[in-house]
């Protein structure tokens, strides 16, 4: 969900900041800054869209319990959050964040804002549901309304006994220039880690493009506030239709991945006929679940010495460092 939105973000920012056409050379990864040895490859296999459906919940649970998934995030406006809240109560060790949601993209399955229409009228369409597209949110909603909804989603999670290990974004909405400062502000205020990449950006760099200095500056602010930052983000780990080709793509990605902390986003769903009425993405989501529970993938991770980590661990390591500033690294033309 994040990739297409991130591309649009970069296009918008490129118009606003054409002078930022510089490259960036990182000397030290965030993995090293958080205490891992030089050369460490640390990975968060992250399951998005938890709480969206029963199928999504079951897929996330299976990926965590039987596979290599280490983290997940929950869509608080969705109908199946209560089921997952019960699961978390019995499994408090699970790394569970909030997938901050300001859109409702499917045709026949919709959800509205947690804050309610009167509090955030610019976030809803004529039927009272969140807008289908991020562009509609940008056109109609204010930054204050986006912030109000973020806070409402956090408050609802806490009221249900969910203590979020981190915050991230559904369809990239909070990463747009109109809203990103509110996203960062709330994470810092509440001391909740938030998805922010600021390292070598081997993969997400294609979407960031010329905006590396701007992204690095934001990441620096997050780090200086005492929260962890990751080096890279993979929004679509595989593209093939054939499962064996998908597996080969994932192994290649892991083998060629640069040292640092990389989050790999997946959408894991136990496929049933019911899910097909929500989305046509069921086969892809089922394939990603199969990948994360594939013994060959687990064996490859172990053979490569790749460390599987969580946002909970990143926060713990960052807190251990205390107030440690990192000088802005040199920029190269």
* Complete DSSP assignment for 133-181: SHHHHHHH--HHHHHHHHHHHHHHHHHTT---S-EEESTTGGGSTTTHH
Distances (CA, A) of 273 to 1, 80, 108, 310: 22, 17, 15, 32
Q: Which residue has the tokens 């400062």?
A: 181
The whole-angstrom separation of Cα 95 and Cα 74 is 11
Percent residues over pLDDT 90 in the chain: 83
pLDDT digits (tens, 9 = 90+) for 42-80: 999 999 999 999 999 999 999 999 999 999 999 999 999
Q: In the prediction, which pLDDT does 11 show?
A: 44
Per-residue pLDDT of the chain (333 residues; tens, 9 = 90+): 454 555 454 444 444 444 333 344 447 999 999 999 999 999 999 999 999 999 999 999 999 999 999 999 999 999 999 999 999 999 999 999 999 999 999 999 999 999 999 999 999 999 999 999 999 999 999 999 999 999 999 999 999 999 999 999 999 999 888 999 999 999 999 999 999 999 999 999 988 777 788 888 999 999 999 999 999 999 999 999 999 999 999 999 999 999 999 999 999 999 889 999 999 999 999 999 999 999 999 999 999 999 999 999 999 999 999 865 555 443 333
Asked whether the CA dihedral 182, 217, 5, 235 is positive or negative, the reply is: negative
The whole-angstrom separation of Cα 225 and Cα 223 is 5
Instruction: Report the CATH superfamily, name and number, of domain 2-12+36-321.
Output: Glycoside hydrolase/deacetylase (3.20.20.370)
The whole-angstrom separation of Cα 8 and Cα 178 is 13
Q: In the prediction, which pLDDT does 135 show?
A: 97
pLDDT digits (tens, 9 = 90+) for 238-265: 999 999 999 999 999 999 999 999 999 9
Q: In the prediction, which pLDDT does 326 show?
A: 53
Q: H/E element holding 47?
A: strand 41-50
**Residue ranges of domains in the chain:** 2-12+36-321
């Amino acid at each position: 969900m994040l990739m297409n939105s991130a591309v649009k973000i970069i296009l918008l920012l490129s118009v606003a900041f054409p002078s930022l056409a510089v490259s960036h050379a990182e000397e030290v990864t965030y993995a090293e800054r958080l205490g891992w040895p030089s050369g460490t490859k640390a990975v968060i296999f992250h399951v998005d869209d938890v709480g969206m459906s029963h199928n999504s919940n079951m897929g996330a649970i299976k990926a965590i319990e039987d596979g290599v998934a280490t983290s997940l995030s929950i869509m608080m406006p969705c109908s199946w959050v209560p089921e997952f809240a019960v699961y978390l109560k019995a499994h408090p060790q699970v790394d569970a964040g909030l997938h901050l949601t300001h859109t409702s993209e499917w045709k026949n399955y919709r959800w509205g804002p947690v804050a309610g229409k009167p509090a955030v009228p610019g976030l809803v369409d004529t039927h009272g549901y969140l807008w289908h597209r991020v562009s509609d949110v940008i056109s109609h909603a204010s930054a204050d309304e986006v912030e109000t909804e973020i806070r409402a989603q956090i408050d609802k999670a806490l009221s249900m006994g969910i203590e979020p290990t981190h915050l991230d974004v559904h369809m990239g909405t909070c990463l747009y220039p109109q809203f990103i400062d509110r996203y960062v502000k709330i994470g810092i205020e509440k001391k909740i880690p938030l998805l922010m990449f600021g390292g070598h950006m081997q993969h997400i760099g294609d979407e960031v493009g010329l905006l590396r200095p701007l992204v690095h500056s934001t990441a620096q602010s997050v780090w200086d506030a005492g929260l962890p930052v990751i080096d890279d983000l993979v929004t679509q780990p595989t593209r093939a239709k054939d499962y064996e080709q998908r597996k080969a793509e994932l192994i290649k990605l892991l083998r060629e991945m640069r040292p640092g902390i990389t989050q790999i986003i997946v959408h894991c769903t136990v496929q049933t006929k019911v899910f097909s009425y929500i989305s046509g993405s069921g086969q892809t989501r089922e394939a990603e679940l199969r990948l994360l529970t594939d013994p060959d993938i687990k064996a490859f991770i172990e053979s490569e010495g790749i460390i599987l980590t969580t946002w909970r661990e990143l926060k713990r390591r960052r807190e251990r460092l205390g107030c440690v500033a990192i000088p802005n690294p040199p920029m190269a033309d």
